[in-house]
Structure 1
Amino acid sequence: MTTTQKQAIVNEIRLLSAKESQSKVAKKADVSTATISQMLNHNWDLIKAEMWQRVKINLRIELEWQTADTTNFRELSKLLNKVQDRGMSVCIVHNAGTGKSHTYKLYERTYENVIYIECKNYWTKKSYVKQLLTACGLDAFGTVEDMIEKFIKHVKGLVKPIIIIDQFDKLKEPSMDLFMDFYNDLDKHCGFVLSGVPALKKRIERGCQNEKIGYDELKSRIGKKYIPLYPIKEKDVQAVCEANGIYDEQFINEAFNTCEGDLRRVRRSIDQYFLMQKK
């Protein structure tokens, strides 16, 4: 890892530390507070490359990618602001690759009292609760009940918090059911965003139709609405390309025509473009 990359990581750590304590940043990064302190103080000689990489990944730091002002980034950011300010609960459902997760991650880094997690298929209920605590910069140990109570108590102490649960459709039902408990304890104090692909809507609707426990309550708490995003247009692809240093109209047009509405494919095209430039 280059000195420039290390400095970029330090800059991000400094920004995060301005919003919360170095101790919480260290817990999110899964390193010691001493390591974070050494990075900030430029005592880098004894910090291994693996440690820098761990911090970069766990804090979701992008070193070689610039965020573009796409339609979905702009409109979703506005929605998140409203949800956080008003303590609303919403469910965002749209196809993969439209910029949902990227927007959530940048929102978390930009604003205070944002709790963001990206769910995984393999998580147990305990894994899920531990990740919520880690996202808060808190120690994650004890029984599931103890950790849930610790999480709720922490959120109650925040000013206008927002909890963003990305890829909510990947959670198993025992974990998904916890949303109702969180909502009941934090309603109007905390904003909630449940987010996923169209399978999330299908799962909730199927659960309601089959009268499965918890699904009617979940649907009620999101206002019985699923908020879609906008389809990817050529101006969005152009914004992404130009933000990352590509102004070639032919490339932009081809990237749009082959991406099938998926900005991840646009990113791969950009990565390949610069890879070819290096040859």
Structure 2
Amino acid sequence: MTNLQKSAIVIAINTEKERLGSYGQVATKADVSTATISQMVNGKWELIKDELWLKVGKACGWDDSEWQIAETINYRKVSTICNDAKSYSLFMVVSDKAGIGKSAPLKSYSQSNAESGVFYIRCREWAKREFLTELAAMLGIDTGKSYMHIDKLGMKVCDFFRKRGSVKPLLIVDEADKLKDSALRWFIHLYNESEDEMALIMAGTPHLEERIKRGVRLKKLGFDELDSRFGRAYINLIGATFNCVKKICAANGVNDPATQKMIFDELKPIFKEIPIDKQQVQNVKVVEDLRRLKRMVIREKIKLQNIYI
């Protein structure tokens, strides 16, 4: 389970406490110890198993009908990337296959860390003006009703982040491969105006990496500078191991081990090298299409519901 889910369950516990009168009564209702409820409420989460969180959450009316994110290898890697970028004010690129699991952990990270200056935008096929207009709206920047020169609009965005330099803001730009060249080149300006004061993570399919590298090779305007600002490095994700798939299934109500194994096998896992430490790697079976995994888990949930009708 993610910290976001756990925080939501704590809110549900406190709501139920107000309704019932005490944490002891909440513990009785959930059939757990008062100490467990106390640890949850006071943020001492390290030793509490996911099964207990689910049990207490359901007893307190926490709605897990929506898709739940599990703390998989990808989730932890994305969180580490975001933490590193934010801590050291880095511009970074995550570029990997569609469906491998980029967007969900990025969005979850932004929601969990919204109060510490993390902002998230999912792109469409925008040119520079369209992108900056949407970004300004997402940031709550007042751009007025009259026409604003595009450079002034860009500076308003830069000023927004500069004023928040004390918290080391992080902007996450998801599906950045959909942006037009003019919008991508604007990140050069953002870097120049806010170097060492903010972080930025661009995420997209392998087309994003290929497009930037091709732009450098063909000497297209701004692409060598863009590549340089992002360290000429492109981060790949891993996918989901069998253990990850089990966590995702359990978080979403599919707890039967045989069903979890069937789902993993049906996704046709491939072998991939996963670093164990700086010197060693291990070949592990992983699945790379988490969107298909989601559909299969939902399919099994529907089957379970129909059994009990």
Question: Smaller-chain TM-score range?
Answer: 0.7 to 0.9
Residue of structure 2 aligned with 1:190, choices 179, 198, 205: 198
Following superposition, the deviation at residue 114 of structure 1 comes to 0.9
Q: d(CA) in 1 for partners of 2:162 and 2:65?
A: 34
Asked whether the equivalents of residues 86 and 170 of structure 2 are also in contact (C-alpha less than 8 Å), the reply is yes
- Structure 1 SS opposite 2:254: coil
Following superposition, the deviation at residue 277 of structure 1 comes to 2.7
Following superposition, the deviation at residue 258 of structure 1 comes to 2.8
TM-score by length of 1: 0.74
Q: d(CA) in 2 for partners of 1:139 and 1:64?
A: 34
Counterpart in 1 of 2:137? 134
Counterpart in 1 of 2:95? 93
- Structure 2 SS opposite 1:73: helix
Q: d(CA) in 2 for partners of 1:235 and 1:226?
A: 26
Q: Percentage identity across aligned positions?
A: 31
1:267 is matched by which residue type in structure 2? K
Residue of structure 2 aligned with 1:102, choices 104, 107, 124: 104
Q: d(CA) in 2 for partners of 1:150 and 1:174?
A: 18
Counterpart in 2 of 1:114? 118
Per-residue CA distance 1:138-186 (angstroms, 9 max, x = gap): 3355423332121111110112001111111110011111010001001
Q: d(CA) in 2 for partners of 1:178 and 1:211?
A: 17
Q: d(CA) in 2 for partners of 1:256 and 1:247?
A: 13
Q: d(CA) in 1 for partners of 2:143 and 2:105?
A: 26
Per-residue CA distance 1:173-202 (angstroms, 9 max, x = gap): 111110100010011100111111111111
Following superposition, the deviation at residue 93 of structure 1 comes to 1.1
Following superposition, the deviation at residue 214 of structure 1 comes to 0.8
2:228 is matched by which residue type in structure 1? S
Residue of structure 1 aligned with 2:153, choices 114, 129, 147: 147
Larger Rg: 2
Residue of structure 2 aligned with 1:221, choices 224, 229, 232: 229
Q: Number of aligned pairs? A: 220
Counterpart in 1 of 2:258? 250
Q: d(CA) in 1 for partners of 2:65 and 2:86?
A: 28
Counterpart in 2 of 1:16? none
Per-residue CA distance 1:6-33 (angstroms, 9 max, x = gap): xx8xx79xxxxxxxxxxxxxxxxxxxxx
- Structure 1 SS opposite 2:243: helix
Counterpart in 1 of 2:245? 237
2:234 is matched by which residue type in structure 1? Y
TM-score by length of 2: 0.67
Following superposition, the deviation at residue 135 of structure 1 comes to 2.3
Q: d(CA) in 1 for partners of 2:103 and 2:65?
A: 17
2:67 is matched by which residue type in structure 1? W
Asked whether the equivalents of residues 253 and 301 of structure 2 are also in contact (C-alpha less than 8 Å), the reply is no
1:129 is matched by which residue type in structure 2? L
Residue of structure 1 aligned with 2:219, choices 211, 214, 219: 211
Q: d(CA) in 1 for partners of 2:266 and 2:226?
A: 37
Q: d(CA) in 1 for partners of 2:303 and 2:152?
A: 53
Let me know the Cα RMSD of the aligned residues. 1.9
Q: d(CA) in 2 for partners of 1:258 and 1:63?
A: 24
Q: d(CA) in 2 for partners of 1:265 and 1:273?
A: 13
Counterpart in 2 of 1:274? 301
Q: d(CA) in 1 for partners of 2:157 and 2:137?
A: 10
